[in-house]
Amino acid sequence: MEYNGWSNWETWNFKLWIDNEECSYYAVLELAEGKDKYELSKELESWADDMLKAIRIECGFFADVCNTSIKEINFEEIAESYLLEIEEGDDGLISDLITLP
């Protein structure tokens, strides 16, 4: 079922949270550099799995809900949108926007 122009709610929600947190957004843009859609989608999926592990929900109802939601995310669709954004130059110069200490 489509949601707000994305393949489903889970995909829209994951992308929304990345875009709304500046450090996550720029981290994904950095992650995307030099990758194709498939490679980036696998990196995003791994990142989502790592986030779930970090909150230490390993079993029970909430683990099932989170794992099911992550499986529904269309990571290729999200990867494609970031790669298109970079190609179109909407991100500006990534290296200029991220300042390192």
Q: What is the pLDDT of residue 71?
A: 95
Query: Per-residue pLDDT tens for 62-93?
Result: 888 988 999 999 999 999 999 999 988 854 54
Residue 90: what pLDDT? 56
In angstroms, rounded to a whole number, what is the distance separating the alpha carbons of residues 25 and 20?
A: 7
Using an 8 Å Cβ cutoff, are 31 and 43 in contact? Answer: yes
Tens of pLDDT, residue by residue over 37-62, are 999 999 999 999 998 889 888 788 98
C-beta pairs of 8-12 under 8 Å, 24+ apart in sequence: 8/72, 8/73, 8/74, 10/69, 10/70, 10/72, 10/73, 10/74, 11/72, 11/73, 11/74, 11/77, 11/78
Domain chopping of the chain, boundaries = 15-90
Q: Is the pLDDT of residue 32 over 90?
A: yes
